[in-house]
A and B are shown apart, each in its own frame.
Chain A
Amino acid sequence: MQRRTLLKGLGAGGLVAAAGVAGWKLLDDDGGDEAPTDPTLATPEPTATLQAALAAVGAAYLEVQPDEADPEVLLAALPALAGRVPDNPGHALAVLAPSVEADAEAGEVVDLGGWVLTRTECRAAALYAG
């Protein structure tokens, strides 16, 4: 039903790239438009604090890269931090911004549950995940 609802919406809005027929067919099938099925969905997911976000991204990274679950290994892979973990993660991440940009330029990315993230930001998160 969920995807059916989507496609009907697409057809009604003309959004299906190639699919005039989809709109025709599905609108015939479904009748009128539907309002959101669950009003609670109007409340967005809460935003994450940086600390919580680092914990989540870091944990996800270490799941796919368990051999890096060691601060020494991570620090060695993040030379811009000069061998120490700053107390303020925001400061650490700002220092690493050029490395993140270099990763992106080099295509050095990691797939974390479908998210396309640079390896440096994942390692930085892992550093603070614990």
Chain B
Amino acid sequence: MITSAEGLASGTRLDADVCILGAGAAGITLARELAGHGLAVVVLESGADDLQPDIQDLARGESVGEPLGFADNLTTLDAIRLRQFGGTTNHWAGFCRPYDDVDFEVRPQLERSGWPITRADLDPWYQRAHPVLGLGPYRFDWQYWAEQQGMGEPLIDTPLVATGVYQIRDTRFGPEYRGELDAADDVAVYLEATAVDLRLTGDRVSEVRAKTLGGVQLSVEPRVVVVALGGIENARMLLACQGDRPAGLGNEHDLVGRHFCEHFAVPIGIAEVGEDPAALSALFEADLGAQEGTLRIKGDVALTSEAIRSRGLLSLGCQVVVGAYAEERPRVISGLGISEVAAVAGAVGAQPPRSSIYFLATAEQELNPASQVRLGRDTDPLGMPRVELDWQFTDRDRSSILDGMALLGEELARTGIGRLQVTPGSLRFESTDGIRPYVGGLAVDAAAADPEGFELGLGFHHMCTTRMAADPTEGVVDPDLRMHSVDNVYVAGSSVFGTAGASTPTYTIVALTLRLADHLLNEVL
């Protein structure tokens, strides 16, 4: 059943075996998994089926740290998250790729790195995420998809840098699963019901309080609560529950909201390579012009786990835009030009240039306790403190991107494929071809490079604010995603990620949620 809470009598009390807060990718996945098991499942979703401006305004907050985006194109907290049935999947791009082995490991150079589970632990649920997301087989290697789709040779494939793929399908969880949940007689989804408080009896949440903008107040008495409100809102919700724990729920060690991570999206390099532009386009631009809602396979060049371990780097992957070298070469404002470099490289044995390419990096942010989601001073119309985001960087955030790209450059040179220019802040975009950056419309002003201060764009992914850790002094939830200090509250979503990695998060959110569902069904309920 799906209904608006605005139609309830104020003061309505509900009983639930499981009360799920939020109906985004995590909340909807969990509700679907719990349906049909004879449990009473209540889902409280702040939004409606369609985006409502007054509800969306509840997501408004203040950014007091690093800018959210490039200086000429800043965004806001209420623009990058959707309060709507289906959550932010209502406008996501659909990129899916698992986290790599190294993302789960302790990296000695990186404080607090490591998850309490491994990639192998999560593999069964990654596989189960595929039908949920409408993906193809559980394969992310270039070789498999090259055979399936005739994608041609990879750009590069060495022990340190590899060409893999993203599976892309922008499944909108709201429209996709609305009918199924509406028909479920053991799941009740209440739209326009914003959870505003969790009240404790002892170490258990005994009451979930919710409100609507129309003035309806309702409460749920749950056996289990799952907080699935998103990477920022999970922290906001827990911090705001101060009635029984003055510092907020689960915040005994001042960890809730800390270690906020984004993915950096950075225009970071150009290269000349000897490979055929048509083949590279088939590999890297398979999504261009494709119909939304279909499965697309798109290449991605990334540092391998071996490279990240051995060099002490943060994870990094690159999307690639391809141009034919003969027709599209970046303009030179200052510094060495691509054709000068190509001429010398060709004379010493590199392949003759056939393609010019542009790299857009997606890079991992280092865990940093100063990068933080907090409660602001203002309150929203439901009386909840608005969110305040203090996004902070470390020196390693930038230096690791540059070191990783330099490694890619070394590998391109070592293999004779071509030469790479790393362009921190020195790439200019002078034109597009209408649907993509146009390599011939790029220009490089090497004199303007700023290796220590180049802009770090956003991936619009919010992670690590309620990290999972075996030790309660290191994380908010345990490896089963149960809060360390509250017996019957679990957290789902990217806020539980141990580190940010460089893969897009929704696929991992769904996998972790499926794992949580199995845990609840098999060991808790």
Other CB < 8 Å A-B pairs besides A16-B265, A116-B420, 6 of them?
A6-B429, A15-B321, A54-B343, A100-B349, A107-B410, A116-B419
Cα separation A5 to B360 with both chains bound (whole Å): 15
Known: A25-B75, A113-B449. A90 touches B92 (CB 8 A): no
Q: Which residues of B from 340 to 372 have beta carbons under 8 Å from A?
A: 340-345, 347-349, 360, 362
The digit string for A28-69, where 1 denotes a CB below 8 A from any CB of B, is 000001111110011011111110111011001000000000
Cα separation A53 to B350 with both chains bound (whole Å): 15
28 A-B pairs whose Cβ atoms sit less than 8 Å apart in the complex? A2-B429, A6-B267, A7-B70, A13-B285, A13-B288, A14-B290, A16-B93, A17-B300, A17-B360, A17-B504, A18-B93, A20-B93, A21-B91, A36-B432, A45-B331, A45-B339, A48-B337, A54-B344, A57-B344, A89-B347, A97-B349, A109-B406, A109-B409, A109-B410, A114-B423, A114-B446, A115-B420, A117-B341
The digit string for A117-129, where 1 denotes a CB below 8 A from any CB of B, is 1101100110000
Residue of B285, B296, B437, B458 with highest tally of chain A CB at under 10 A: B437
B→A interface (CB under 8 Å): 70, 72-73, 75, 79-80, 88, 91-95, 166, 168, 170, 263, 265, 267, 269, 285, 287-290, 296, 300, 317, 319, 321, 326-332, 334-345, 347-349, 360, 362, 406, 409-410, 412-414, 416, 419-424, 426, 428-438, 440-441, 444, 446, 449, 458-461, 504-505
Question: Is A112 part of the binding interface, using a Cβ–Cβ cutoff of 8 Å?
Answer: yes
Cα separation A9 to B463 with both chains bound (whole Å): 26
Cα separation A109 to B334 with both chains bound (whole Å): 21
B446 touches A18 (CB 8 A): no
Cα separation A4 to B428 with both chains bound (whole Å): 11
Task: Find chain B residues with CB under 8 A from A17 CB.
Answer: 95, 166, 263, 265, 300, 317, 319, 360, 362, 459, 504
Chain A nearest Cβ from B292, distance in angstroms: 8
Chain A interface bracket (under 10, 10 to 19, 20 to 34, 35 or more): 35 or more
Chain B nearest Cβ from A46, distance in angstroms: 7
B263 touches A18 (CB 8 A): yes
Cα separation A44 to B326 with both chains bound (whole Å): 8
Q: Name the contact of B435 in the complex, choosing from A20, A22, A33, A42 (C-beta under 8 A).
A: A33
Q: Name the contact of A117 in the complex, choosing from B285, B332, B413 (C-beta under 8 A).
A: B413
Question: Which residue of chain A has the shortest Cβ distance to B358 in the bound complex?
Answer: A6
Q: Name the contact of A47 in the complex, choosing from B94, B336, B339, B413 (C-beta under 8 A).
A: B339
